[in-house]
Structure 1
Amino acid sequence: MDIVVADELKTTFTNPLLVPDRADWEARARVWRDPRAVIGASDAGAHLDMLAFFSYSTALLQHGVREFGVIGLEEAVHLITDVPARLYGLRDRGRLAPGAIADIVVFDDATIARQPVETRFDLPGGAGRLYGEAGIGHVLVAGTEIVRDGAYTGDLGGRVLRSGRDTVTPALD
């Protein structure tokens, strides 16, 4: 407790992580392929200071695709981009197609990996949040490069999506 008090409550404690093995990843792949399933992990930022679920897609590419080979790269990208976009009715999002919005993440499938999670104290009032790099080279939002060589460019390429204008009502068969 002396350490916690000395660093003004910036020290955190956690349980050791269980490391999934091949059988765990194979079971996950069976669920991902079910048409009723959507890959994702979010609590809309409610626990951004204590849960690192933000890296689920990186873990999928690192372990599910590269390390254990339980799912192919193209299928994984489809499941983390197109499937959620269709579920939420996002018009012209989630896939690369003529006329679609150019939201693109460029990464090296041989090196993408979860990096150690750290706490950054950059929220209003100096509050902390968990953060972890993934090895993303470039990100384009609506065709504007917002990340170049792993660093933010300062450009903002997107806009707020509005129901009806940017969405369709998806069929829930």
Structure 2
Amino acid sequence: MVRIGIVTVSDRAHAGIYKDLGGPAIKDVLQEILTVPWTASMQLVPDEQQVIAQTLCRLADQEACALIVTTGGTGPALRDVTPEATVAACTKLLPGFGEMMRSVSLQQVPTAILSRQTAGIRGSSLIVNLPGKPAAIRDCLLAVFPAIPYCIDLIGGPRLETDPAIVKTFRPKAS
């Protein structure tokens, strides 16, 4: 069974001021995309860089999540520190993920240039930062997911398969 970490970064949702919509939105999109058995490790953390980084490391190192997807904390506000926490947790960065997500988001809103999503690798885990809005989560996840299964193959993770009617996974012919 493939393990996937889903991390919502939000002071207010963590404090119970409002309901977490981002984490469930990610889970819904993944249920639509993936055709392999998988289980989610849902996490809700405050906008604290050290807490976020520790959560990402635990999901990668102890829970062996092949994919860890975050939502929230990627903007320019003072408390938005998810990209910094991701960089601290990763051994390699994959800036193309952020570039693709910003490109897709710019087709919807001009403020997408303020987004700082990134992605990286820790061991055999791929960590991807998504925006906080559920509609943007779906658009961004669908935009980058064609490359995610092959990336996980390359870092020694489990083979992910997708519903080709929703996302066509790209793998070179020799894979």
Please tell me the TM-score bracket, short chain as reference: under 0.3
Report 1 or 2 for greater relative contact order, CA contacts < 8 Å, sequence distance ≥ 6: 2
TM-score, normalisation: structure 1: 0.28
Q: Going by fraction, where is helix more abundant, 1 or 2?
A: 2
Q: Going by fraction, where is strand more abundant, 1 or 2?
A: 2
TM-score, normalisation: structure 2: 0.28
When Rg is computed on C-alpha atoms for both structures, the one with the higher figure is 1
